[in-house]
Structure 1
Amino acid sequence: MFRLAFVLSLLVTLAAIQGNQAVDYTVTNNAGSTGGGARFTRDIGVDYSKQALPAATDFAWRVFQQDNPAVRKNVKKVSLFIDIMDGVAYATNNEIHVSANYLGNYSGDVRKEFTGVLYHEITHIWQSNGHGQTPGGLIEGIADFVRLKANYAPRHWVQPGRVIGGIKGKSVDQLWNDYKAKYAK
């Protein structure tokens, strides 16, 4: 009986150790000689990226309510690449590829934008795709939701209370004043 209890406790301990192993994060700038690659090095950097990746991972786990490592995807390593490519970024096979062209041409706080992109893409690393059956819009919407909840929404997303203004070009107050001026007698 003692042997069985010992073996079971040993197995539980080994499973816990296996489940709690840290994820290894690597960052490679394949575009260092380009304007965007140089901007990554100057304004963002490998060290910052290696801090942002686990922070984004922890945040995604909290949003997904994956406090228990046993319910998470079994990912041992996440690699980030800064590449010469079109678009913004994509995630595949536990890799995140960010466009040096996008970083080089971005006007504004490039570090904040980069962080928002990381939160979006790291979500793809950890989320389930229902064995390929989940609609792409839902997958992207969930990643955008995580980015939004982390306070890294890009400037072009409509801000709370600005939906009407985004459609009509005026605030609700301006529209109300126009209405009163036209119809109030």
Structure 2
Amino acid sequence: MKLHVVAAILLAVAASSSLPPAAAVTYEVSNEAASTAGGQRFDREYGAGYAKQVLAAASSFTWSIFSQPSAADRRPVDAVVLAVRDVDGIASTSGNTITLGAGYVAGVTGNDFKTQVTGVLYHEVVHVWQWGLQDYAAHSWVYEGIADFVRLRAGYVAAGWVQPGQGNSWEDSYSVTARFFDYCDSVKPGFVADLNAKLKDGYNVDYFVQITGKTVQQLWQDYKAKYGN
């Protein structure tokens, strides 16, 4: 297990120690693709038991990033569900249910199989807990950016992610937005926690000014300038 994986788990455990008992939320895993190569690999190399531990650790880590020590601060979710299914794509989340693609699992290469799958699950767990998903269709970039920001802070940077300062717009989503939010969080510590809380009422571009005192355009210009591009 790589050092950053250990560090993320330790951070999640530390965060959970100050949170209400984990019994308030249950974690469920089912393999609906057990007859496929990906489903069999999931059972053999990852396993439902380990997946439940990851879901719990990712939830605790997300609560810590979102500054949500109380269940009253969070979305009202009683169970986080993971289903391995024979579907296209890597993973998706609907409500409290995460679907992990068996084809993706079968195709993961390299010696860090568990790390790669865990990074995906951390991203998807954020979607279970983040506020404001009623605005996802119109502003998907902000929600995907927050999910990748949490993944970044947990130490699960994936191969192919952009480097800090790269990207054409703060709305490029995923790792571009995550890197930008990481910069915003350095300008105003707790930026992502504040942004997530405001998203409960839907997205508004004025949130950047309200949180940091600067417009999103100013922040993006400063971010690009910091890295010389």
**Common fold: TM-score over 0.5:** yes
1:121 to 121, 124, 131: 124
Q: TM-score, normalised by structure 1?
A: 0.73
| In structure 1, distance between residues paired with 2:133 and 2:107 | 35
SS of residue in 1 equivalent to 2:109? coil
Gaps of 5+ in 2: 1-19, 167-229
Deviations 1:63-122 (A, max 9, x none): 011112211111111110000011110110200000010010111222111110110000
CA distance in 2, matches of 1:130, 1:145: 16
Q: Is the 8 A contact 2:133 2:143 kept in 1?
A: no
Q: 1:79 aligns with which of 78, 81, 101?
A: 81
- Secondary structure at the aligned position of 1:148 is classed as helix
Aligned pairs (5 A) from 1:95-110? 95-108=97-110, 109-110=112-113
Percent of aligned pairs with the same amino acid: 44
| Aligned position for 1:22 | 24
TM, length-normalised to structure 2 = 0.59
1:132 aligns with 2:135: yes
CA deviation map 1:11-60 (0-9, x unaligned): xxxxxxxx755211110011111111111011110110011001000000
Q: Shift of the alpha carbon at 1:132?
A: 2.5
CA 1:88 to 1:146, structure 2 compared with 1: closer, same or farther past 3 Å? same
Query: Aligned partners of 1:40, 1:159: CA distance in 2, in Å?
Result: 30
From 65, 68, 93, the counterpart of 1:66: 68
Aligned residues: 145
| Larger radius of gyration between Structure 1 and Structure 2 | 1
- Further displaced range: 124-133 or 149-158: 124-133
